[in-house]
A and B are shown apart, each in its own frame.
Chain A
Amino acid sequence: MSVDGVLGVPPRTTATRRVNFWRWVRSDLRAVLSLGYLFILIFVSVFAWKIAPYSPIEQNVTELLMEPTWSHWLGTDDLGRDVLSRLIWGAPNSLYAAFLAVTVAIVLGVPLGLLIGFLGGWFDELMSRFIDALLSFPPIVLAIAVTGALGIGLTNAMLSVGFVFAPVLARIVRAQTLVVKSALYVDAARGFGAGTGHIIWRHILPNAIQPVIVQVTLMLAIALLAEASLSFLSLGVQPPQASWGGMLARAYNYIELAPAQMYAPGFAILLTALAFNALGESILVALDPTMKRR
């Protein structure tokens, strides 16, 4: 009678979710590295006031555009400010910007996509065309327009970036919802007495969310760059506040005098974007039960 039990099931001891989590961390070096990097970044952001060797806004006109020295590890910028200190003070601004934009995109986009996909019919037609219309705008132009309407500043700039990202997520979630909605297990759940809200929340959302996780990590990286672009256009972080995008934009002006100025903010953005992406891939693998036992 227990033919299945003997043949199909490898014997397993106490395998709780926590154990699975740590096993995943140990087996996935990429995840550990990216998580470690992001933790260090968050630590630096929180304790920026303590770690930074100089003030990020104090100018020193006697030391302009210096090469790295022992007193200024990453050199100084065009106003004589310490680049390392600005990089450290830029971390919280850049992280805040990226997370704010993506949070807004998730809060707006995911429920909208679920609703559109689940309800379908004329609502789907209407909303999908609306989303198409939004996506036909160049994203930065749309973000600039929304920022203009909301008012200039980092928070408003990133709210508008989130608003621009939201239709992208909504479209992905809608497509996934359409697939998952017709799955037999959704019918089965209904057949066992589950209500509509329960079905959307417990069965459709978890099955539709995987591509969103990857997209979100990509968006974190794009949001970093969007912050840079908007700060470059002086719609984002207002001088003399530091942000990586703003530093990059500023260094760009002096690319012929001091090309090394680009490296610090550039690598910070690159590494952070890379870490977000790597983490997203690892989460995807960890969340997918069919990929777990490799």
Chain B
Amino acid sequence: MSDAVAMAVERAGVAPPGKALLSIRDLCVSFRDDSGWTQVLNNVSLAVNPGETVGIVGESGCGKSLTALSILGLLQKRDVLRTGEINFEGRDLAKLSEAEMRRVRGRHIGMIFQEPMSALDPVFTVGDQITETVRTHFNVSRREANERAVAALAAVRIASPQNVVSMYPMSLSGGMRQRVMIAMALVCEPRLLIADEPTTALDVTIQAQIMDLLLDLGQRTGTAILFITHNLGLVAESCTRMLTMYAGQVVEDGPVDKILMQPKHPYTAGLLGSVPQPRQRKSLLPSIPGRVPSPHEMPSGCRFAPRCTYVQPPCLAPQALLSADAERQVRCRRYDELTLPGAIS
């Protein structure tokens, strides 16, 4: 896999990459509003290796989607401050100009959006939209772009792709639209695919199909996937590594099986506890009390402390991301003392 990357990089003529395909270091994002600057992402660091599937989990408003948008530089330029490094294939995306970033988007990093119902332009046919992406990045004829579009639709297992290319998004079902989005994201064969809750808007049976499809395509093309979700079940099935985000910070990072077996951060344990279990039929569904603090009223110490059952006075000081072992990091000073319940016991 790394040979393929090296070859791809040689072709592109950029410096050879480190081990990771994408490595983000100390990404901070602040928004400006009437009351001044508010930090919404705090020192987010993560790495995605070539061909790997990494999950990011957390409640709504934890900064998951924001991280994805920051990677692609899709945040508004005005009133937004972004610092930190975003190394991708040996380049720091944070330093690229808008024009250079355009050549990365869609070509080297694909993105699938949460709502397939509104992510496709209603006035163009499916084929128009896929060929548009192809022709943005490759100097090919209309006809060849169209052939690629048909092939991409076939690759996402759409029946009779020749007919679907001339259809408008409104005549497709949600599942079909998400397949089209996947086809659009993969048609330029990117090295990395960012999937921002790709199945949230779909019903359960279609969810499973779409996930199978994504993982299968990722495996076959060697595309790494950064998978953003709040569905821990999907992470368990599909990812090799996962990160838990809370209130704009990474609070836990490690291999999926180890984290699920024995989470080290109380927030991860809380998320795992909130997954409905078929056996506890009559009991109340456990949940984490409270809600994610808004960026304006961030606790000065551990950001999870107000909702944490294991909180102690020293927790009210800021927490650093600690290395639990070679593979795992956790943002909790008590990680060693606590034995938290996992999903699999």
Q: Which residues of chain B are within 8 angstroms of A11 by Cβ–Cβ distance? A: 160, 163
A119 to chain B, nearest CB (A): 10
Q: Which residues of chain B are within 8 angstroms of A187 by Cβ–Cβ distance? A: 74, 113, 119
| Pairwise interchain contact B122-A289, C-beta atoms closer than 8 A | yes
Q: Tell me, in angstroms, the Cα distance from A191 to B107 when the chains sit together.
A: 10
Given A1-B209, A9-B172, do A289 and B179 touch, yes or no (CB 8 Å)? no
B251: Cβ under 8 A from any A Cβ? no
B115: Cβ under 8 A from any A Cβ? yes
A184: Cβ under 8 A from any B Cβ? yes
Select one of B107, B121, B157 contacting A207, CB under 8 A. Answer: B121
Select one of B74, B171, B175 contacting A191, CB under 8 A. Answer: B74
Q: Report A1-29 CB contacts with B as 1/0, cut-off 8 Å.
A: 11111111101100110000000000000
B266: Cβ under 8 A from any A Cβ? no
Q: Which of A273-294 contact B (CB under 8 A)?
A: 287, 289-290, 292-293
Given A4-B176, A15-B166, do A193 and B133 touch, yes or no (CB 8 Å)? yes
B94: Cβ under 8 A from any A Cβ? no
Q: Which residues of chain B are within 8 angstroms of A195 by Cβ–Cβ distance? A: 99, 102
Closest B residue, CB atoms, query A15: B166
| Pairwise interchain contact A202-B118, C-beta atoms closer than 8 A | no
Q: Which of B120-171 contact A (CB under 8 A)?
A: 120-124, 132-133, 136-137, 157-160, 163-164, 166-168, 170-171
Closest B residue, CB atoms, query A293: B171
B9: Cβ under 8 A from any A Cβ? no
Q: Tell me, in angstroms, the Cα distance from A194 to B164 when the chains sit together.
A: 23
B72: Cβ under 8 A from any A Cβ? yes
Q: Tell me, in angstroms, the Cα distance from A293 to B107 when the chains sit together.
A: 35
Closest B residue, CB atoms, query A194: B136
B328: Cβ under 8 A from any A Cβ? no
Given A4-B179, A8-B176, A184-B113, do A193 and B157 touch, yes or no (CB 8 Å)? no
Q: Which residues of chain B are within 8 angstroms of A202 by Cβ–Cβ distance? A: 124, 132
The number of chain B residues with a CB under 8 A from chain A is 47
A155 to chain B, nearest CB (A): 35
A173 to chain B, nearest CB (A): 15
Q: Which of B166-186 contact A (CB under 8 A)?
A: 166-168, 170-173, 175-176, 179, 181, 184-185
Select one of A5, A207, A290 contacting B160, CB under 8 A. Answer: A5
B220: Cβ under 8 A from any A Cβ? no
B286 to chain A, nearest CB (A): 34
| Pairwise interchain contact A192-B106, C-beta atoms closer than 8 A | yes
Closest B residue, CB atoms, query A2: B159
Q: Tell me, in angstroms, the Cα distance from A203 to B163 when the chains sit together.
A: 23
Closest B residue, CB atoms, query A185: B121
Given A1-B209, A4-B179, A207-B122, do A12 and B105 touch, yes or no (CB 8 Å)? no
| Pairwise interchain contact A5-B158, C-beta atoms closer than 8 A | yes
Select one of A5, A184, A190, A207 contacting B115, CB under 8 A. Answer: A184
